[in-house]
Amino acid sequence: MKKTRIAPTPSGYLHAGNAFNFLLTDRVAKATGTKVVLRIDDLDAERTRPEYIEDIFRSLDWLGITVDEGPSGVDDFRANWSQQLRLDRYARSVDELRGKGVLYPCDCSRQHFERHTRHAHACRSSHGGITKGSTPWRLRLPEPCPIVVEQLDGKKEQVDLAASLPDPIIVQRHSGRPAYQIASLSDDLDMGITWIIRGADLLASTACQSHLARLLDRPAFAAVLFHHHPLMADAQGRKLSKSAGSASLKAIRDAGGSPHHLIRQAQIHAEALLKHLVP
């Protein structure tokens, strides 16, 4: 059974870039007989707000998207689908990685880490020991770290993961919770996801999750196919984002706007992609 997912993060009101991704996923899924799962990524509990969760359901209704699996509303989400209910599952994967010696505690800020080469960080030679509860743990990436990402259109894209991003945080600094990369990988595997459409800015995340799957001996993830679509931008050419305060779908709805333009854009991209899909 083919299965994909829509996976918004409730850290702000959704914007046009989110809508394009949801609509593109929905159109390709319908054309290929693929089930769609709604997965709301609320791992970052401190940034999650009830109004942002509600906005996800209102936005999907406004866009005319129905899903085959997932929460029916805010209460059902909190009771049965929240990532907070799966923290033990994610923690077991973290423990596996620690057991393999590929994680290390690191108090360096992101800015400090990025200013220096990996080999300039003494913390990378550490394999653990006694740490403060607020100490984040990073994944020690080899250099180079070539990853091949299989595409929905049959092409293969090679990414040098070590050149694309700093050693990723696997355990968060203040909460001590497993971070996004582990949670997303675990959920995609547990939900039986077979293909994923996401923004081009997440190509390095895709490669990171593929690397983690190898380390954790989860070969099923190697069969997942991807499509990384171009990002939508504002009038100044900047990537749309919740943090940048871009015009939200809620604001468009409240002003009486229509999703027609977004639907048309997604349909054009879906039709182009469908011509090249692997049978």
Please tell me the predicted confidence (pLDDT) of residue 241.
Answer: 59
- Give the pTM: 0.91
| Residues in contact with 247: Cβ distance below 8 Å, sequence separation at least 6, in sequence order | 15, 16, 234
Q: What is the pLDDT of residue 195?
A: 98
Count the Cβ atoms, other than its own, within 10 Å of residue 181: 18
DSSP 8-state class, residue 46 = G
Fold of 3-100+183-274: Rossmann fold (3.40.50)
Q: Which two tokens stand for residue 225?
A: 């196919």
Domain residue spans in the chain?
Answer: 3-100+183-274
Using an 8 Å Cβ cutoff, are 4 and 37 in contact?
yes
Nearest residue to 195 via CA among 278, 265, 263: 278
What's the pLDDT score for residue 193? 98
Q: Is the dihedral of CA 42, 15, 241, 182 positive or negative?
A: positive
Residue 87 CB-density burial (10 A; 0-12 exposed, 13-18 middle, 19+ buried): middle
pLDDT for res 115: 72
Angstrom distance (rounded) from CA 256 to CA 246: 18
SS3 of residue 65 by DSSP: coil
Residue with tokens 């182009």: 272
pLDDT at residue number 245: 47
Listed as ranges, residues in the chain with pLDDT below 70 are 126-133, 174, 233-246, 278-279
User: What sign does the dihedral 3-10-228-260 (CA atoms) show?
Assistant: positive
CB atoms within 10 A of CB 57: 17
pLDDT of residue 278: 62
What pLDDT score was predicted for residue 133?
61
